Structure 1
Amino acid sequence: MGIIKKTFYTTVLTGTAFVGYVAGSTSIICPLPRNDPMWQSNPFHRYNVQGNPSTQDVCIKRVPLSKIRPELLQKDGDLALEFCRGVWAGWGYRSQRRILANKYQEQTPDQLWSPRDLATSNYEPGTRITDHFEVVEKTPSAITVRCGDSPVRSPGPRESDGLFIMYAEVDKERGEVELGLKSCFFDSKNKHDGILGPMPKYMEAAHQWYSRLWMVSASRWVTKGIL
């Protein structure tokens, strides 16, 4: 019983400490401010054709420049690309990737599935990721994917639609890098009035914690080279 009790308390304390670290090292902004560039972006207007209300947020982590892998700061675009690779290849996405692989990998073997492919892809527009994501825009500082459903089975307007933006911006004055995971979910098929997005509050809260975990996972790749 002593061993069981000790193991239990160690697990609880470790889990509590990890949750505290995740919450303390990341921040959530919700909803997105009105001047956020996403609202004027081509992907947002292309896919939210109904102009429907959305559920949106951004998870942010600031990292000192000194902790970023030096080779990622040599060429414009390398940091954002490597951050994107860390998002998909890291442990934060592992469980969801496995679930989707069990259901859809045999139907879409030409998409990105393996950790190696996810960690080495250039994520050019048109790249499809684990059946449920497709790159729709790439800039030196950000990569945008369409999310919510399969681009193979539901390429047009759909009830579950959205954008997921991974970005990395260097702030030389502060000596920091801002890493961001920006999400926007909407119904692109049916017209909705009002201001409330499609995601219930409990799902929104769960999504934000998932974004925090994803951020911690991906940031390790651009700082330590560990997935």
Structure 2
Amino acid sequence: MGIIRKTFYTTVLTGAGVFGYLGATTTLVTPLPGSDPVWRSKGYARYNIHRNAAMHDVAFKRIPLDKVKPELLEKEGDLVLEFCRGMWGGLGYRPQRNYLARKYQGPATASQLWTVDQLDKSTYEPGTQLSDHFEIVEKSPTEIVVRCGDSPRNMGPRDSDGLLVLSAEVDKEHKEVVVGLKSVFFNSSRKIEGIQGPVPIWLEVAHRWYARLLTETAAWRLTR
């Protein structure tokens, strides 16, 4: 598995084959249905105070239960925690982490998580900040909610704001573990009329493939 991962990251990732690979191994749903719990969540109400239009989607992956590390099934909450560690410490996020470290790592952000070792070992409690771009705002046995879009040092309304919901649950009926990355992005700084989301369509498309990449590489942490 290690050889496969390295080969994928160093060769396939830079070519057109990545789209076929991610399309086959992950599923994307956009837009999110009106019944999705995120629209009724405390976090969404807290941050999107103007109820502005949002860009939203979810990337998810199903893993056969017999492929999952058995120790992750013993204690409630371990699946989503390991998925979170795999996302931020994994290969998919590494280029963005390196870029943010070059720009923002320093004395003002010394309390945040920056290194792969830190990201691999964190318990991701609410209040944890990483890469000067993400902050854990909620944690449950099946979900970890992350505020994003700007530096967590900017605690107020933002021109670029959003929530990521990392999830991992056992689907007993189908004998699978389902992991997902749900994204909701919006402008929280002022009221904006209309139904257009906060980013151009080309960036929406790029984000959807990136979400699938993050989901896929994070899921590797759960498998034997």
Q: TM-score, normalised by structure 1?
A: 0.90
Correspondence for 2:129 = 128
Unaligned runs of 5+ in 1: 1-10
* Structure 1 segments of 4+ aligned residues over 4 angstroms from their partners: none
Correspondence for 1:113 = 114
**Per-residue deviation, 1:19:** 2.9
**Per-residue deviation, 1:22:** 1.2
- AA partner of residue 81 (structure 1): L
* Matched ranges for 1:188-203 at <5 A: 188-203=188-203
Cα RMSD of the aligned pairs, angstroms, is 1.3
**Per-residue deviation, 1:46:** 0.4
Distance 1:18-1:188 versus aligned 2 partners, 3 A rule: closer
Query: Larger Cα Rg: Structure 1 or Structure 2?
Result: 1
**Per-residue deviation, 1:109:** 1.4
Distance of 1:43 and 1:128 partners within structure 2 = 17
**Per-residue deviation, 1:89:** 0.1
Moved more, 194-203 or 52-61: 194-203
Correspondence for 2:173 = 173
Distance 1:18-1:200 versus aligned 2 partners, 3 A rule: closer
Size of the aligned set, in residue pairs, is 212
Secondary structure in 2 matching 1:91:
coil
Distance of 1:67 and 1:188 partners within structure 2 = 41
Distance of 1:77 and 1:33 partners within structure 2 = 26
Secondary structure in 2 matching 1:197:
coil
**Per-residue deviation, 1:212:** 1.1
- AA partner of residue 149 (structure 2): G
Unaligned runs of 5+ in 2: 1-10
Correspondence for 1:55 = 55
* Matched ranges for 1:36-47 at <5 A: 36-47=36-47
Distance of 2:176 and 2:71 partners within structure 1 = 16
Correspondence for 1:29 = 29
Q: Does 1:150 align with 2:154?
A: no
Correspondence for 2:138 = 137
Distance of 2:38 and 2:122 partners within structure 1 = 24
- AA partner of residue 203 (structure 2): M
Moved more, 194-203 or 177-186: 194-203
Sequence identity (%): 54
Q: TM-score, normalised by structure 2?
A: 0.91
